[in-house]
C-alpha cells in the first residue's frame, strides 16, 4: 500500500482512500443530519452510530480535530465519505489508541485495513509515540482480521472481567514494515 500526506498534513492519501481531518462543521452535520439535509458526498449509510458517538465528543476533545486526531474515510473514486478513523490524542506514555469504522455498504473491500495501515504508520511518526493500540471485541472477527492484516499483533486478551472479551492489539515503530 502506498500513502502520502498533503503539505499541511490535513489529508493522508492511500491507493483508494483519502483520510482527511474532521472539521467542527462536519461533526455538527453528523449530529444534525436528517433526511434531505444530508451532504451529497456521504455514502447512503453514513454516519453510523460510531461516527455519531465520535462527533458528539469531538467538541470536548479539541485535539481530536487536529493532525493526530480523527479523520473521515473518503473514497478517492467518487469522493464519498464511507467511515471514520481516529487517534485518541494525546498519547499516554508513548502509546496512542486507534479506532475505526466503515459503513456496512462498503465493508469487505479492505478499506478499514488500508486506512488503519496508513494512520498507524503516520501516528508512529508523531513525536513521543512508539506504539499504536486498538481494542476489539472477540465477537467481531472481521475487525480482528483488519488489525492483523494491518500489521498489529495481539498482546492482551481480557475475558475474565470483561464479558465482551476484548482483545488488545498493538504495533510499534520497530514492527512497522515487517
Across the range 53-70, mean pLDDT stands at 91
Q: Look up the CATH number of domain 3-172.
A: 3.40.630.30
What pLDDT shows up at residue 6? Answer: 67
Q: How far apart are CA 177 and CA 14, in angstroms?
A: 16
pLDDT 10s digits, 100-124: 999 999 999 999 999 999 999 999 9
Q: C-alpha grid cell for residue 76?
A: 478517492
Q: Is the pLDDT of residue 177 over 60?
A: no
Across the range 146-173, mean pLDDT stands at 80
The DSSP secondary-structure symbol of 4 reads E
pLDDT 10s digits, 37-61: 788 999 999 999 999 999 999 989 9
Across the range 80-87, mean pLDDT stands at 97
Q: Is the pLDDT of residue 19 over 90?
A: yes
What pLDDT shows up at residue 162? Answer: 52
Q: Which of 32-36, 94-98, 163-167, 170-174 has the highest mean pLDDT?
A: 94-98
What torsion do the CA atoms of 7, 8, 11, 13 make, to the nearest 10 degrees?
A: 10
Phi and psi at 4, nearest 5°, equal -145, 160
Q: Which of residues 26 and 35 earns the better pLDDT score?
A: 26
Q: Is the pLDDT of residue 166 over 80?
A: yes
What pLDDT shows up at residue 163? Answer: 47
Q: How far apart are CA 105 and CA 122, in angstroms?
A: 27
Q: How far apart are CA 2 and CA 130, in angstroms?
A: 21
Percent of the chain at pLDDT > 70 equals 88
Amino acid at each position: 500500500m502506498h500513502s502520502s500526506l498533503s503539505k499541511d498534513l490535513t489529508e493522508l492519501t492511500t491507493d483508494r482512500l483519502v483520510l482527511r481531518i474532521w472539521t467542527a462543521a462536519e461533526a455538527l452535520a453528523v449530529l444534525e443530519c436528517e433526511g434531505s439535509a444530508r451532504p451529497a458526498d456521504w455514502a447512503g449509510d453514513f454516519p453510523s452510530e460510531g461516527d455519531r458517538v465520535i462527533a458528539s465528543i469531538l467538541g470536548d476533545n479539541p485535539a481530536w480535530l487536529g493532525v493526530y486526531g480523527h479523520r473521515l474515510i473518503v473514497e478517492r473514486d467518487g469522493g464519498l465519505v464511507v467511515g471514520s478513523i481516529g487517534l485518541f490524542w494525546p498519547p499516554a506514555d508513548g502509546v496512542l489508541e486507534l479506532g475505526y469504522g466503515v459503513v456496512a455498504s462498503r465493508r469487505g473491500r479492505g478499506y478499514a485495513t488500508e486506512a488503519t495501515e496508513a494512520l498507524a504508520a503516520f501516528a508512529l511518526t508523531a513525536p513521543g509515540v512508539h506504539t499504536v493500540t486498538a481494542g476489539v471485541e472477540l465477537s467481531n472477527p472481521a475487525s480482528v482480521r483488519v488489525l492483523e492484516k494491518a500489521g498489529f499483533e495481539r498482546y492482551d486478551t481480557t475475558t475474565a472481567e470483561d464479558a465482551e472479551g476484548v482483545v488488545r492489539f498493538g504495533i510499534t515503530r520497530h514492527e512497522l514494515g515487517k
